[in-house]
Structure 1
Amino acid sequence: MPPDPFFAGPGLDRADHLRADPDAILALRLRPDALALHWENGAPAISEDGRLRWNAMAGDLPIFLGLDDGAPRFSALPDGDVLFDTRAHFALLANVDAAEAPVFAAALSLANWHRRHRYCSVCGVATDANRGGWSRACPACRAEHYPRCDPVVIMLAEHDGELLLGRQSHYPPGRYSALAGFVEPGETIEAAVARELAEEAGIAVTDVHYIASQPWPFPSSLMIGIHATSLDRNITIDTTELDDARWFTRHEVMGALAGDGNSAFLPPPPWAIAHTLLETWVNGLK
């Protein structure tokens, strides 16, 4: 099996069976071992050792994150903007302990969702956090709204032992990564992979299969890692999407992942599922 991507993993016990019981949530808030997630600069705060920072409970915090070995963990809705742009916060992600990353992702995604969905999409009335913060309820039309995540396919296309990787204009110099795109309504994962690769690189693929997935909390996506086989090497780049795309050999990918100073490209960072997909490919795992 491929390794778990960053942000994946068990995290907290989400204790779904308690969310619909307001009395149970209140009792959890009042427990002496209950803690509240500390927020800083629009993101869950991280200590120097990479661990999440927690405070004593204060007030009626709306989000019940779950149980940590039975101990309740809650979060407020932070004031101000919630972080959703990783480009400005790579240093923060580099310091997050991998074991803490699933809780970081869940808390950040939920906070983003609450701040973007304060009003009922049915009737426009302001909604209230509900079910321990895992839904929002409309007091007027009684509609209940649940957090969403947007499916994104991210794929390695292979032809004769080489991988197609591309770069976008905002990448650091020399960085290449897997191509990706949102799954559109009425579309399967396989169809999205074929469409995105045809649109961005002008290639046709077959043998589409799943490798791994990753929750991506910027603001709230599910990255679906895919491997596909390209029918030929001819590339036609959509320059509105990509600055460049090219084929890389296994040796070149291995050198990039090893941090070789003379490598053919700069790989995606370790917290990106594209990095996991490249590791999986060079190790022959599918």
Structure 2
Amino acid sequence: MKIAETVTFGGGGLDRAEDLRRHPETLAALPVRTLPLWRGKPLANAARDGLTLIDGHAFAALGQPVLIGRDEEAVIFARDVSALDVDGKADSVDAFRDGSEQTHPDLPAGTAFTDLKRLMTHLTPRDAEIAATARGILEWHRTHGFCANCGTPTEPGKAGWMRGCAGCGRMHFPRTDPVVIMLVTKGERVLLGRSPGWPEGFFSCLAGFMEPGETLEGAVRREVWEETGVRVGPVRYLSSQPWPFPASLMLGAHGEAATDAIEIDPEEIEEAVWLDRSEVMDVFAGTHPWIVPAREGAIAHFLLRAWLADRLD
């Protein structure tokens, strides 16, 4: 797919400076810029169209600094500052919306911790990649403080890109969960579904986690069959998207349906529908009577727009 890397969080070109992870002396001699994150929310600039990186090791008493990459002559670190006593009440946990912002007197004027899902379509590709990387790696540290082999507390190493166990010597590295997300079509129609708990009228491409020993093609066919009873024939890869909520890699694929009768599994999905091109155009235009579009910035939105524009090549 020629436009594959124009997906949100794609094509940022970040220099991840892997060499510096192995050379702490060289790393320590370089100027530092820090991106603080509070409960996974990066620090946004006053215009809310970019990140705010603070010179030096900001909030050094808080969190584990993790090397994100190299920016000209400086290096970028991310730091979890969730222990910070901030101004601004956080929204209740909501997978779709968090309109709250948090500030602190020590932050630059006008900046605030802002939900990445709210920011993502306003960021440059580079800032989006920095934010996605920072959120994903800090969440991994937050949830992997103990050795999965023996239960001993682990300690970070390699500039935050591993955790070592003093008990059994095991080294643990960040993991990404592969998820297939499918643009399933039959002729001029596309198959969409909604999960329980989603906002009213919200439909998206079908998706599901891959299983051990499974190919991308096999996962696409299995997930579509399990959720909707539709059989899929040929499958091809289209594009991928890091999705750090908390740690997925969305593998976008196009599947050609061999059948179109829908029989949902209510434990897997709440509803599924076939829509033709004109109906999907109405969805994106906001004129469909009961369906709202997939989240802007998510790969489902990207794939559906590409299908409408005949840009799956």
TM-score under structure 1 length normalisation = 0.91
Aligned to 1:261: 287
Mapped partners of 1:108, 1:26: distance in 2:
23
Q: Which of 5, 8, 11 lines up with 1:9 in the alignment?
A: 11
Mapped partners of 1:174, 1:262: distance in 2:
10
Aligned-residue offset at 1:263: 5.4
Structure 1 portions without partners, runs of 5+ = none
Q: Which secondary structure does the structure 2 equivalent of 1:87 belong to? A: coil
Matched, 1:94 2:118: yes
Output aligned runs, 1:1-286, within 5 Å: 1-3=2-4, 4-28=6-30, 31=31, 34-49=32-47, 50-58=49-57, 59=60, 62-79=65-82, 86-89=95-98, 92=115, 93-96=117-120, 97-99=122-124, 100-257=127-284, 259-262=285-288, 265-286=291-312
Aligned-residue offset at 1:11: 4.9
1:107-131 deviation per Cα after TM superposition (whole angstroms, max 9, x unaligned): 0000100011111112222111111
1:139-178 deviation per Cα after TM superposition (whole angstroms, max 9, x unaligned): 2322211100000000011112100101122222212100
Structure 2 portions without partners, runs of 5+ = 85-90, 101-114
Mapped partners of 1:235, 1:80: distance in 2:
48
Identity percentage of aligned residues:
38
Mapped partners of 2:71, 2:13: distance in 1:
8
Mapped partners of 2:67, 2:272: distance in 1:
44
CA contact (8 A) 1:62 1:129 kept: no
Mapped partners of 1:36, 1:85: distance in 2:
27
CA contact (8 A) 1:11 1:103 kept: no
Give the length in aligned residue pairs: 280
TM-score under structure 2 length normalisation = 0.83
Q: Which deviates more from structure 2 when the two are superposed, residues 85-94 or residues 272-281? A: 85-94
What residue identity is the alignment partner of 2:240? S
Mapped partners of 1:20, 1:285: distance in 2:
41
Call closer, same or farther: CA 1:113–1:13 in 2, change over 3 Å: same
Mapped partners of 1:2, 1:172: distance in 2:
29
Mapped partners of 2:171, 2:304: distance in 1:
40
Aligned-residue offset at 1:51: 1.1
